[in-house]
Each structure stands twice: as C-alpha cells, then as structure tokens.
Structure 1
Amino acid sequence: MKAVDHEMLVTHLDRLKLTAIRDQLDTLLDEAARSKMTLREALAFLVAREIARRDERRISMASKIAQFPFVRDLDGFDFEAQPSLDAGQIRELATCRWIAHGDMVLLLGPPGTGKTHLAVALGREAIRQSYSVQFVTAATLVAMLAKAHQDGQLDKQLTLLARPKLLIVDEIGYLPFEANAAHLFFQLVSRRYERGSLLITSNRSVGEWGSVFGDAVVATAILDRLLHHSSVITIRGDSYRLREKRRSGLLQKTGAALEPRPTAAQ
C-alpha cells in the first residue's frame, strides 16, 4: 500500500472541513491503534469525534443567539428543595416533544423558586436537540414591541419573534403591562399560536393575569391561546435566595412573614 503523506492527509481533511479530526489527528490515530480498532471501528471513532466537535460549536453559537442570562442545566436543579415540583414532568419536558408539537409551557410560582433556572435549562436542552431558541424578559419584550409599533415596524418585529421554534418569556407579572402593551403581547401570542412554542415564567397565577395585563378581556384572549395546548406547572416552595439567607442567620421566620434578624447594634 502506498505510504500516506501526513501533510497531504491534513490538507484533505481541511478541504473536507473535518477540522476536529485534523486538529487531533495524531492523538486520535494513536488511540485507535492502542485500542486495536478495526478499520470500521476506527472510522466510526473518528466520525464520532468530528460530530461531537460540531455539536459543541453549534450549541455554543445557538446559546449565544438565544441570549440566556446565565448557564443552567437540569442536573443542577435541586428538586428535593421544591417537593411540589414533579421531577418526572420536567424530565418529560426535556425530551422536547412539546416543542415539536408547538405546545406551550407556563412555569408559575413565587420569586426565587427556580423558574428561570428551569426555563434556561429547558431552552438549552432544546438547543441540544437542534431547536432554535430565544430568551427575553417580559419587560424587554414589551419595550421591543412598543418601539416597533411606534416606528411602524411591528409586523417585522413579530415576524422575527415568530422565527425561533421556542420563545422563552421570563418574569411576566413582576411589572404590570400598559393597555397597549397587552394588545401587542396578544398579537405575538396569536402569531406563534400552533406554529411555535412559548415558555412563560410568572410569579402570578393565571387567575391574576387580568390585573397583570390591565385588561381582563385581553388576558382571557391570551390565556385562551396559551392554555389550549399547554403544560401549567406551579411551584409552591420557598425562595432559594431567602432560604440561604435564613440558613446564614440573616433572616428569621416570624409567622408567615420574613423579618431581618436583629443585630447587636439594634
């Protein structure tokens, strides 16, 4: 058999854009030789490394495009600290079948109970499974829609927001919507209805959304579309942040209220 020139092999790999194999060629070939792989096994081994590198790059790029506020995964979520949460249901959502069907997910619960952690973790899992994702807070989303409406670019902005297979809207209910903002959000929900999935986190129950949106009629219309094909998950646990402060002695529980622990100076 004709001897294979190393430089020529690297050139061919570069031309085929097999950059992971190219960059680790000697190491990979040595490992294949040590493991006494057959030609078929060695080829599968090399291809698997190339695919892994491409997946890493794809996930990294897609995560930047999604604009997650931080990196979180389901393995880092403390399900034992939130006994009201069905871990099996969350693991089922991580399969992303609901995204394939264009369904909705609402994560409801008090501040600090891990809603955003779960939203980001599910969004990252969606990216791993090749779904496009965008993350945005409710306040930022409303500002985007209001500006687009003012500039006569609302339809263009709605089209852009309809493109990701999963749109995550975080923190609905922390600030009340103005009347016009509620109508703009309704248009977004309508645009994505049965076309793309929405994952929404909120500190308010759906029964309170009339006051959140400032218009019970608009809130009903929004919920009609969100709840048609949806999973509504309510977390009833304590805030992680307050729990840590309580453990450190910065807060003490008095009845149902949380009060700062008195200091020596007081």
Structure 2
Amino acid sequence: MTAAHHALTAQVSDAAIDTACRMPRLPTMRAQAADTIARAEREGLSYAGFLAELLLAECEDRSRRRAERRIPAAHFPREKSLHEFDYTANPNVDPAVIHSLATCDWIAKGYPPCLIGDSGTGKSHLLIGLGTAAAMADFRVRYTTAASLVNELVEAADDKQLGKTIARYGRVDLLEIDELGYLELDRRGAEMLFQVLTKREEKNSIAIASNEAFTGWSKTFTDPRLRAAIVDRLTFNATLIETGTESYRLARTKANKTNGLK
C-alpha cells in the first residue's frame, strides 16, 4: 500500500468518524477522536482499548451535561452547596450525618431527611445543598416551598389539571419542600399536599425543611387525622436533623457590625 493511498484511507476514515458521530449525536467522541487516535498509535492501544476510551469519554461527558441540566430544572431559589455550610457557626448540625446524606444513597431507598429548626439556622442551605448534590448525581430534583406547591395544586385543580400536576411531582426522584409549617393550610390545600405525598410514598424520596417541630404542626394542618397521616408519611425511615433555635445569620450580622465599630 502506497503512502498516498494510506493518507487517503486515513482521510476517509476521519470523515467517516466525524459523520457517524454527528448522526447519533456523539460530540465528545467527535471532538476527541483525533487525539485518541494519535494516542492509540503512540501507545499501541488495541482496537478494543481505543473504542473503550472514546465510548467512556462520551458517556462521562454526557452524564456531566445531563447533571448540569438537572440543577436549573430543580428550580432552586439560589445556589448553595454542602461544602460551603459553616458547621462551626451551627454546632447542632453533625457533619458526619450531612456527609452521609451527600452520597445520595437515601434517595434510591426513598428515605426522607427532615430539617427542623428556627429561621437562620441553615435549613434551606442544607436542603438546597442536598438537592444540588442529588442533581449532580443525576437524580431528577424539584425544589419548592410548601406555599408555592399548594398554590400550584389549587390552581391546577381549578383548571382541571390536578391529576397531571400531582403526577409530575410524583415522577421526580427527589421532591424538596421548604418552609413547611410557616403558613396555615386550609383543608383543601392540606388534602392536595397529602395526595402528592401519597403519590410518592415508598417510591420516590422527599426532603423537607420546617421551622416547627412536628408537634407544632397543628397550626399548619388543622385537621388532626390529616396532620397525623402527613407526619407519618414524612417521618417513616426519616433522618431528623435539628438545626436549633439560634440564628447564625443574625449572629454573623451582629458580629460584622461589632467588628465595624472597632
């Protein structure tokens, strides 16, 4: 075989690889093909090794891109990560528990974390951080406040779309409900929320944050039987994290003001 014929064959091969990667949408394989070919020739990779390198690169990059799309799809109100949480400012929170939850094993098992504590103690930070970790692990996550969720359910019911809305919330791998316990819910709203929880029972995980202990939920859920059923749904196999009563946001603000006066 002549050098010219060999070069022509290489050109045809390169063009074929480029075209073939475009059709099934394999951008990483297309982008890395030339470098991988050069390394395969340099290092003497087998055909199988060369193909494995390209396929693994495509799979890893596709997984990363999908995880990046999961974060905006979760509707987090702001960016928060677990590694940014200040455990020294709130010693009530056990880092070992949070690090264990960061593995996301509890999502596959459907075990719910429940964050209970006063405002400013880091509940929402931890909730968003756990949701972000789950999204980066390629789980479908949806964050919402209790009030927003109930309002959406009421509007859906009025539009005769309640079943579709409940089904949509039932499909995500992790539903995070923040600010549960802040507002009193009427019976209709509470019953709709219960339907969402029932749809997810023992199938897909829920994580909640509340400024009220479960014993104080009588102000939010006025019907005692419904309240008991909702608490039962949320606490079965739950990890309870009590963030305390002292606002470290307020403490930090006071400290900053004090330092500014010095």
**Which residue of the partner structure matches residue 17 of structure 2?**
9
Q: Is 1:83–1:237's contact at 8 Å kept on the other side of the alignment?
A: no
Where 1:95 maps in the other structure, the secondary structure is coil
State the Cα deviation string for residues 130-170 of structure 1 (Å, max 9, x = none). 32211111111010111122333322322221111211111
Q: Of the candidates 197, 209, 215, which is equivalent to residue 207 of structure 1?
A: 215
CA RMSD between the two structures = 2.7
User: Which stretches in structure 2 are left out of the alignment for 5+ residues?
Assistant: none
- The alpha-carbon deviation at position 25 of structure 1 amounts to 4.2
Letter of the structure 1 residue corresponding to residue 187 of structure 2: A
Where 2:241 maps in the other structure, the secondary structure is strand
Q: Structure 2 CA distance, aligned partners of 1:196 and 1:232?
A: 18
**Which residue of the partner structure matches residue 171 of structure 1?**
179
Instruction: Report the CA distance shift for 1:44/1:212 in structure 2 as closer, same or farther (over 3 A).
Output: same
Q: Is 1:81–1:237's contact at 8 Å kept on the other side of the alignment?
A: no
- The alpha-carbon deviation at position 206 of structure 1 amounts to 0.9
Which structure is higher in helix share?
2
Instruction: Report the CA distance shift for 1:8/1:189 in structure 2 as closer, same or farther (over 3 A).
Output: closer
Q: Is 2:181–2:220's contact at 8 Å kept on the other side of the alignment?
A: yes
Pair 1:249 & 2:252 matched: no
Q: Of the candidates 23, 27, 38, which is equivalent to residue 45 of structure 2?
A: 38
- The alpha-carbon deviation at position 199 of structure 1 amounts to 0.5
Instruction: Report the CA distance shift for 1:220/1:48 in structure 2 as closer, same or farther (over 3 A).
Output: same
Where 2:220 maps in the other structure, the secondary structure is helix
Q: Is 1:210–1:220's contact at 8 Å kept on the other side of the alignment?
A: no
- The alpha-carbon deviation at position 250 of structure 1 amounts to 6.8
User: Which stretches in structure 1 are left out of the alignment for 5+ residues?
Assistant: 252-260
Pair 1:53 & 2:78 matched: no
- The alpha-carbon deviation at position 229 of structure 1 amounts to 2.2
- The alpha-carbon deviation at position 16 of structure 1 amounts to 4.3
State the Cα deviation string for residues 148-201 of structure 1 (Å, max 9, x = none). 223333223222211112111111122222232122212222222112211011
- The alpha-carbon deviation at position 223 of structure 1 amounts to 0.6
Q: Which runs of 4+ in 1 moved over 6 A?
A: none
Q: Of the candidates 175, 184, 187, which is equivalent to residue 192 of structure 2?
A: 184
Q: Structure 2 CA distance, aligned partners of 1:76 and 1:67?
A: 20
Q: Of the candidates 224, 227, 230, which is equivalent to residue 235 of structure 2?
A: 227
- The alpha-carbon deviation at position 205 of structure 1 amounts to 0.9
Q: Is 1:111–1:203's contact at 8 Å kept on the other side of the alignment?
A: yes
Pair 1:102 & 2:102 matched: no
Aligned residues: 252
Where 1:60 maps in the other structure, the secondary structure is helix
Q: Structure 2 CA distance, aligned partners of 1:123 and 1:55?
A: 17
Where 1:172 maps in the other structure, the secondary structure is coil
The two structures have a TM-score, normalised by structure 2, of 0.84
**Which residue of the partner structure matches residue 162 of structure 1?**
170
Letter of the structure 1 residue corresponding to residue 45 of structure 2: T
